[in-house]
Every structure is written in C-alpha cells, then in structure tokens.
Structure 1
Amino acid sequence: MKLVFKLLVIAFCSFDIYADTLSIKQQQAWLEDINFYESQVRTKHIEPFHTLAESDFAKLLKELKQDLPLLSEPQVEARLMVITGAISDGHTNYFMMSGPHQHFPLRYKFFENKLRVVDATQQYQHLIGAELKAINGLPVNTLFDILSPMLPGVDNQFSAKTRFEYYLTLHKLLLGLGFVKENAATKFEFNLEGNTLFEQITPVEMSEFAKLSSAFKSHSDKLNKLDIGMPGISLSLLKENKIAYFDFDAYPSFEQVIAECKALQKQLVTAKSQYLIIDFRGNGGGSFYTGLAFSSCLLPLDQFNWKTGVFVFTDEHTFSAAMSNTIQFKQILNARIFGTPTGGDPNQFSESYRFVLPNSKRKLSVSKRYYPFLFKDTDAVHPDELIETSWIDYQQGKDPVLSAVLAEIEK
C-alpha cells in the first residue's frame, strides 16, 4: 500500500501542471461512476479485500471523490487504475483503453532485463534494437516500479513485465500520472550499441500504433499451418508427420472443438504422428473447459508416445486459462513444460465479471472465482526445462524452445 499512496502523491503533485480539470458536470458524472464502481467491486468480486484492506479501499475512493475538482479525466482514470491494481489480482482490472487514447509509436520487449524497441513506425525505425533508458528523465526501472502494481492482467513478476512492455506506450496513462505533458513532445533516452540517443516523440492514434508487430513474436509463423476448424488453434506436421505441433494461440469455443474433434482425430491417425507439442506461448486465456475438451479429443489416440512424447510450451504471456491448461495437461497428458514461467499464478482469483461505468463507459472487470490449481506456495507454473529467447535469437527469428524439443525427439 505504501507504493499506492506514493503513486497518488506523484499524480496529485502534477494536477495543476499538465491538464485541464473537470467541469462541474463532468465531476458529477465521474462521482456517479465511482459510486457504481465501488458497488460492483463490493458485490461482484468473490473476495475483494483479500489483499487490500477494506478501510484502505474506502479511504482511497473517498480521497478520489474529494479531489475531483482538482483532476483531469486522465488523472481520474489513473487513480482508478491505482485503486483497482491495489486489489491485487490479475482478473480485477480497470481498462483505460476502453476510452479514447493514443500510444507512443514504439513496441518494447525485455531481453536480459533490457527493454528493447522491437518495432516502430517509419519515422523511428532507426531505434529498433535500442534499449530504452528513460522517459522525461525517469529511468525505466523507476517507471516499472511505479507502473507495475497498477497494470491490468498482472498475477506475478512475469506478467508484470509483459503488461509494462505494452502500457508504457499508453500516452494517457503517463499523462494521468504527470510523467508527460499534454500537447507536447516527450523526451526519450535510448542506448544503441553504446551510443546515447535522445528523441522527442509525440503519440499517435491507436489505428497507427496497431500496425506495429506485437512484442510477442510467434516463430511458428514459419511453419506450414493447417486449419483444423478450431479458430485460434492451428496444426503443423513436422519431421515427416512424426510430430503434431499445435500452435494454441487463442481459444475457440467449446462447441467448435467438439464439432471438429472427429475430423482432427482422423487427420492425426492418417499422419501417424507419435509426438505432441502444444504451444501456449502468447496465449492470454479463454475458457479452460475448452482446453480440456481439446485434450479429451487427443487422449483416445494410442499412437502418441504418452510416456515421454508430450510437450507444452509456455512464456510470460501464458495467462488465465492457458496457465490452467498447462497444469492440467502436465497432469492428464503427462506433458513436460518447456520455455519460461507463466504470467498466470496457479493459485489465484480468476474468471472475470465485466461491467461498464454508466457515464464514462469505461470497462472494468472483477474476479468471481478462486482456483487453487497447485497446493503449494508458488507464483507461476515454472517449466521443467527453462529456455529463454535471447535478443539475437529474436532478431534472427530463431525459436530455441522448439529447437530444443525437436533435438530431444531426434535423440
């Protein structure tokens, strides 16, 4: 909680510097939204005060209401993100991007604890590969310490990094915290091959930012993918069909898996595949019951090496249902896990109840279930074989995780 109050102090100190304050009408609208928000958190979350004390929650909201005449809209939203983040579970979130917003035209990814630019608009292509050092004089590690407790979709240190990579581009968030100025370029500091670069950068519309490639780079794009009628899951047959590789990028519906199961089984029987890879990297979740239906479709096939031939890939993006299915597949498919730890916590509040604030129309979610998937103290599903992707691997489009499993199968 000390960090939460520190954040509020930082934001409050910038109220009269960077943005216009709310009108009387806007203040009333936000007051109604905040009251609605409070009632939803209290009544819809399965256990809203598992980490944040109820008295602190009430205090933070009271102070926010009192401060409304001093605040701009981005500052109100930043405060709500702070309060929601303090509840401390990855399915209880304030989605600032549900309203108008802009992004700085860069995409980032951590490699060996260095935050590198992995894509940029045409004007800033020369920055690709550079390490971001600071924004308006604030070092990256300071920004991470401040932002990570308030970001949506954070269960642990691993998902905190992935969310930070993305939300550091969100201009409205940095504006709401007083770190950047409205209608003014922002000073970025980079290090590129030992040289310090300074750039004055202005934000762009979401439509332009969306053209940039994701920080998650799926190396399976090089593979010959087969459509199996389950949107979000593709099949590649590797090593003369010996290996069935499923890129489980997103969740289809339960009904789609059931409807296409027989056709998939026939396809795998014809291919005579013996080894099974299910790749959950980059998968932010869905319904783990769909994942269980998928596994039940594969289990009847005796052709697979169910003793040592099943592999699941994970990374820090593996969250929610994808994290749950990882644990379940280790249990029911006897799978070994390769890659990096999941962004999801196995023993965490889950299953989102989503709602919309009546006036601002901002979207939020709260957790409505609790699942203890591992009966031990842990913050992630840790792989059996830890394999990280280096910056050089990323640049060259190499997939060390897939390469390691292919090599093991060849042995």
Structure 2
Amino acid sequence: MLGHRLTAVGKAPVETVIDSLSTLFTVDNEAIVKSMIPQLFPSLQFLEYFGFAHNGQVELTLDGDKIYTLKPSDPQRAGRAAFQPDSLPLAIAERNVLFSDRYFPEEKIYYILYNSCWGRESKAEFKSREKAASLPSFTEFGEKAFGILQGNPVGKIIFDMRNNGGGNSAQGTAFIERLARFLEQHPGIKTYVVIGRSTFSSAILNTMDFKHLTDAVVVGEQTAGKPNHFGEVRSFQLPESKLTVAYSTKYFRRTDEETDTITPDVRIEMSFTDFTKGIDPVYEWIKAQ
C-alpha cells in the first residue's frame, strides 16, 4: 500500500470523505483542510460516523482499482511501516526539533529551521522552571546564529516556519527585530521566509514581523492561521467528564486587511514525487535565485 494514491474509502471518493471530515473543524482556508484531514482520517470512529466504514473495518481503494480492507489493531511502534524516500531534506529530517540551523558555505546560505515558538526561556516563564532545563535555549541559539552571520560570507538567509504551530511569539519577535537591524547594515543579503499549511498562531505573528520589519520574500504555501486571530490559549478541565477545554484569551490584530490566510509571494508546494526523491522544492528555488 505504501506509495500508492488513495482514491476512495468504502464506496465514497476521497473528495467526499474530505468534505465530510471538514465539518468537524472551522474551515478558515484551504490550508487548514490540508493540515487537519491527515490527522482526522485515521479515526475509525469518524469514518463509521459518516458511513464510510462499517462493522469495525474500512475498505480502501488505491490507484483507482486496488482494494484493501483494514481492521483496527494495537498500534505498537514495532509493527508500523512507513514509506522510505531516497533521502530527507532538512525541513523534514529535523521537523521534530524546536529549532535548528545549518550553514551551506558553497551556496553562502544560512538556513534557520524554526519549528516551534518555544524553548527553555518560554517554558520557564509560562510553565515549569524545573522542566525548562531539559529544553534548548533560544537565547543561546540566537547568539550562535548571529555569530555565524557575522563570521561567514552569507548571501541568503532562510527562516523556515512551515512546520511551526506556534507557542510564544515574543522570542521570535525579538530575534527578528535584531535580524532586521543586521540586514539594514548588510543590504546585500537576501532573506526568505518559508510558510505552509502548518504555520499557525505565534508563527503567524512572526511571519507578520518579517513582513513589517524586513524586505523578506515569503515562499511556500498558504498558512492555516489568519493574520488577525485569537490566541494566548488557556485551558480548564470539565469536572464530570474530565475533558479538557481550550480557549483563547486575546485577539491579535496585525493588519487592517481582513484575510483568511497569509499568501506567500511565491507559491511552491512539495509534491509526493519531490518527497520520494528527497527534494525540497522551496530550498531548490531559493538556491537558484
């Protein structure tokens, strides 16, 4: 089944399944559908509720003619299988770290992968100082970043937030403000900000920081989050069901224009063929500029 295209679930085309599952969340834009559907699709309960699965099993049609029947099982990690591409680009290989970087001397590109607006300082401020010690320090990361920028020939900077679902925007804003001052002193450096379907919440605010403070070119896909949005999420537990309820406490207004997404200056989406070959089309486009 790995590497084949899903075309139907039961007797329903996959487009119908997507349409039904999309009623389970607020559809602000196309990107939120692309982000949420892969998370909801594996739920047998949802597929049964909408009538796409029956009797505790689901029938999948692949490539338009191959039919496989799946039954639920205990999801032990040892029994899982995953498609193996030829290689993994940086944005995918290190998508589970909070932040990372790499300097490419031949291309004179400094690549910052910013997967989460979080770190040791944010954890200590908002949660637990004891647990914060196990997290990487964004302050130290920032000092390292500017050391690389000042000590190496850099022609292009990539700030990649396509996997960033948010956190605390303040640390990113402070970094971007400092970077903006650095770029004013080095006008020959081109800056690129990468966004995508998983860019949300505080990462949206940091994207707007780049748009307001720099001449960065925004590349990638439309964001799931909106420029003006509710945030500063808190939660409480219902006393009887013990379910956790999350709610927003602040409205962030970053633009006078009411839009449902941030649309990149240059739209580039990774295809499955790109993924199989280990190609990041965003990075390749930036490298060629």
2:195 is matched by which residue type in structure 1?
Answer: T
Map 1:336-347 onto structure 2 (within 5 A). Answer: 336-347=217-228
Question: How far has the Cα of 1:295 moved from its partner?
Answer: 1.6
- Of 326, 346, 349, which aligns to 2:230? 349
Moved more, 280-289 or 172-181: 172-181
Equivalent residue number for residue 61 of structure 2: 189
CA-to-aligned-CA distance 1:88-118 (integer Å, 9 cap, x gap): xxxxxxxxxxxxxxxxxxxxxxxxxxxxxxx
Judged with a 3 Å threshold, the aligned counterparts in structure 2 of structure 1 residues 128 and 400 are, in CA distance, closer, same or farther, namely same
2:33 is matched by which residue type in structure 1?
Answer: A
Find the aligned partners of 1:196 and 1:295 in 2 and give their Cα distance.
Answer: 51
2:57 is matched by which residue type in structure 1?
Answer: A
In the alignment of these two chains, the number of paired residues is 269
CA-to-aligned-CA distance 1:335-356 (integer Å, 9 cap, x gap): 1101111111112222322222
Equivalent residue number for residue 137 of structure 1: 11
Equivalent residue number for residue 113 of structure 2: 247
1:301 aligned counterpart, secondary structure: helix
- Of 191, 195, 199, which aligns to 2:68? 199
Backbone CA RMSD of aligned residues: 3.0
Equivalent residue number for residue 168 of structure 1: 41
Equivalent residue number for residue 403 of structure 1: 284
2:262 aligned counterpart, secondary structure: coil
Runs (5+) with no aligned partner, structure 1: 1-126, 226-230
Question: How far has the Cα of 1:207 moved from its partner?
Answer: 4.6
Equivalent residue number for residue 331 of structure 1: 212
Detail structure 1 runs of 4+ shifted over 6 Å in the superposition. Answer: none
Find the aligned partners of 1:299 and 1:222 in 2 and give their Cα distance.
Answer: 27
After TM superposition, the score normalised by the length of structure 2 is 0.81
Find the aligned partners of 1:360 and 1:270 in 2 and give their Cα distance.
Answer: 57
Question: How far has the Cα of 1:136 moved from its partner?
Answer: 2.3
Map 1:3-402 onto structure 2 (within 5 A). Answer: 127-151=1-25, 155-181=28-54, 184-191=56-63, 196-208=65-77, 219-220=89-90, 232-240=98-106, 242-253=108-119, 255=121, 256-301=137-182, 305-306=186-187, 309-402=190-283
Question: How far has the Cα of 1:296 moved from its partner?
Answer: 3.3
Find the aligned partners of 2:105 and 2:251 in 1 and give their Cα distance.
Answer: 41
Higher radius of gyration, 1 or 2: 1
Equivalent residue number for residue 54 of structure 1: none
Comparing both structures, which one devotes a greater share of its residues to helix?
1
2:242 is matched by which residue type in structure 1?
Answer: K
Judged with a 3 Å threshold, the aligned counterparts in structure 2 of structure 1 residues 204 and 151 are, in CA distance, closer, same or farther, namely farther
Question: How far has the Cα of 1:280 moved from its partner?
Answer: 0.8
2:224 aligned counterpart, secondary structure: coil
Runs (5+) with no aligned partner, structure 2: 122-136
Question: How far has the Cα of 1:275 moved from its partner?
Answer: 2.2
Find the aligned partners of 2:263 and 2:3 in 1 and give their Cα distance.
Answer: 28
8 Å contact from structure 1 (residues 265, 297) kept in 2: no
After TM superposition, the score normalised by the length of structure 1 is 0.58
Judged with a 3 Å threshold, the aligned counterparts in structure 2 of structure 1 residues 132 and 165 are, in CA distance, closer, same or farther, namely same
